[in-house]
Amino acid sequence: MSSSTTDTGKRIVVLGAGYAGLAAAKGAGRHRTVTLVAPEERLLHRIRQHETAAGRGREWPAIGELARGRRIRHRRARAVALDPAGHEIVLDDGTTLGYDTLVYALGSRTAWHDVPGAAEHAHPVERAAEVRRLLRENDRFGTLAVVGGGATGIELATELAEAHPGRQVRIVAAGQVGGSYSPKGRAHIRRVLDRLGVTVHENATVTEVTPDGLRTTAGPIDADLTVWAASMEPHPLAAEAGLAVDDRGRALVDDHLRSVSHPDVHVVGDAAAVTVPGVGTLRMGCATALPQGQYVGKLLDGRTAAPFSFRYAVQCLSLGRRDGLLQLVHPDDSMKPTVLTGTAGRLAKAGIVTAVLGALK
Ligand SMILES: Cc1cc2nc3c(=O)[nH]c(=O)nc-3n(C[C@H](O)[C@H](O)[C@H](O)COP(=O)(O)OP(=O)(O)OC[C@H]3O[C@@H](n4cnc5c(N)ncnc54)[C@H](O)[C@@H]3O)c2cc1C
């Protein structure tokens, strides 16, 4: 058995090295030893995955590099089972890891929504490197479909269209593409999609994915390659382990981000259903995961005892490398009419992405 022993004899384990887990480990690891469990060597940096898919991403920093200066032991493994009563985690290398305090930050993954053929024939956006490889190796892939009309689908479709001008990119949405943005924001997204030659299929719920494309409620859509960016679902381990979860499988937490059923487990990021008074239940996003991880890091380091607080300010999108959208929002994430577009929007988005990486260094 491996374990991490703190100065006080308490073992702190963080599961997951995404924005939430890494931020929590860095905060807690200032004065205490933390075992950070995640399979990857390098930061996944999910908010740049559309760039990777389009062939533009670069290698992100190693977890070890980001953990430098902290008392963090990175254990490259996957958790396969969690026993919150026994305070133990089973890893995929067959070992068991004990803990006194657990930070659960296993994030989310593509939700296939039980659409027939989706898991077999579509490529989830988080396998961006695979999409890049397939596009490099297959000149005959002339038509690409991106399923999902939300932020991830829009970023992916614009990035692919800009990087592959010889290929026909289609964006397919069950409702309106960019439907959650303000009218000005939506209009700008539509202008950029049109400029980049992306075909927009709205009110087209996908009912089946085939090797040749999609069947939808608005008719068939041809595609040589389908990338799935429809929605995300939380990692299932919390529910499997018996932590109290909401109807989406996100762990229910109190105002200190502790599981309501198992208070020695903090849950942060996409895995947690965090409700903030006056704001509501936070959406999955790097924008919410990073501050949650930072907060729990401070809590475990004794730098705060206050409840978690959060207010939204902006939503931002990259629209290829030359355009972007910064949408101002109210503290509860509802839209304000004001947007920044074009170069200003692009620079604002790039600044935020740089700040995210900076916060993890
Ligand atoms: C293309 C794209 C663009 C996006 N753009 C934005 C954006 O602009 N703004 C925004 O707010 N959000 C954006 N998001 C969403 C954002 O990336 C996620 O909400 C965010 O990554 C959640 O962070 P997290 O730390 O909770 O989990 P994740 O980033 O999902 O990290 C989960 C961690 O858990 C690890 N893990 C998984 N399973 C196991 C296991 N069994 N054992 C151990 N470790 C495990 C993973 O390897 C990883 O280290 C985007 C997502 C995508 C895909």
Distance CA 159, CA 153 (A): 10
155-172 burial, b at 16+ Cβ within 10 Å, e below that, comes to: bbbbbbbbbbeebbbbbb
Structure tokens at 233: 């679902």
Cβ neighbours of residue 97 closer than 8 Å, sequence gap 6 or more: 1, 2, 3, 13, 35, 37, 75, 88, 89, 90, 91
Q: What residues contact residue 220 under an 8 Å CB cut-off, 6+ apart?
A: 213, 214
Which pLDDT belongs to residue 8?
Answer: 63
Can you tell me which atom of ligand 1 is nearest the CA of 286?
Answer: 11
| Mean pLDDT confidence for 180-193 | 97
Fold matches, 12-110+232-300 and 118-230+313-360: yes
- Which residue from 214, 201, 213, 243 is spatially nearest to 104, judged by alpha carbons? 243
The pLDDT tens digits for 18-53 are 999 999 999 999 999 999 999 999 999 999 999 999
Q: Examine the pLDDT at 95 and tell me if it is beyond 90.
A: yes
Ligand 1 closest atom vs CA 271: 26
Partner residues linked to 101 by β-bridges? 12
Residue 124 Cα to ligand 1 midpoint, Å, equals 13
Tell me: the pLDDT tens digits for 110-141? 999 999 999 999 999 999 999 999 999 999 99
Asked if residue 54 has pLDDT above 50, the reply is: yes
306 Cβ contact list (under 8 Å, min separation 6): none
User: To 10 degrees, the CA torsion angle through 5, 10, 11, 17?
Assistant: -110
For 231-255, what is each residue's pLDDT tens digit? Answer: 899 999 999 999 999 999 999 999 9
User: How many angstroms is it from 184 CA to the middle of ligand 1?
Assistant: 29
pLDDT at 7 over 80: no
Structure tokens at 104: 């659960």
Looking at per-residue confidence, does 2 or 176 come out higher? 176
What mean pLDDT comes out for the span 106-110?
96
> In this structure, which residue's CA is closest to atom 31 in ligand 1?
18
Tokens representing residue 116 in the block = 């027939």
Q: Give the pLDDT mean for 139-166.
A: 97
Contact 308, 274 (CB under 8 A): yes
pLDDT at 9: 67
Question: Does 3.50.50.100 match the CATH number of domain 118-230+313-360?
Answer: yes
The ligand 1 site (C-beta within 6 Å) comprises 15-21, 37-40, 44, 46-47, 49-50, 78-79, 105-108, 125-126, 151-152, 155, 235, 269-271, 284-287, 289
User: Residue 81 has what pLDDT?
Assistant: 98
Indicate whether 5 pLDDT > 80: no
The yes-or-no verdict on residue 57 having pLDDT over 80 is no
Domain spans in the chain, listed from the N-terminal domain onward = 12-110+232-300, 118-230+313-360
At residue 3, does pLDDT exceed 60? no
**What is the percent of the chain where pLDDT is above 70?**
98
Residue 58: pLDDT band with limits 50, 70, 90: confident
Q: According to the model, what pLDDT value does residue 6 have? A: 41
- Distance of alpha carbon 327 from alpha carbon 313, whole angstroms: 9
Ligand 1 nearest-atom number relative to CA 353? 8
Tell how far the Cα of 217 is from the centroid of ligand 1, in angstroms: 30
Q: What is the CATH number of domain 12-110+232-300?
A: 3.50.50.60
pLDDT digits (tens, 9 = 90+) for 261-311: 999 999 999 999 999 999 999 999 999 999 999 999 999 999 999 999 999
167 pLDDT higher than 50: yes
* Residues ≥6 apart with Cβ < 8 Å to 262: 84, 243
**Helix or strand or coil: residue 21?**
helix
292 φ/ψ angles, rounded to the nearest 5 degrees: -65, -45
- C-alpha radius of gyration, the chain, whole number: 21
Q: What is the mean pLDDT of the chain?
A: 96
Checking DSSP bridges between strand 251-252 and strand 272-273, what pairing results, if any? parallel
Q: Is the pLDDT at 4 greater than 50, yes or no? A: no
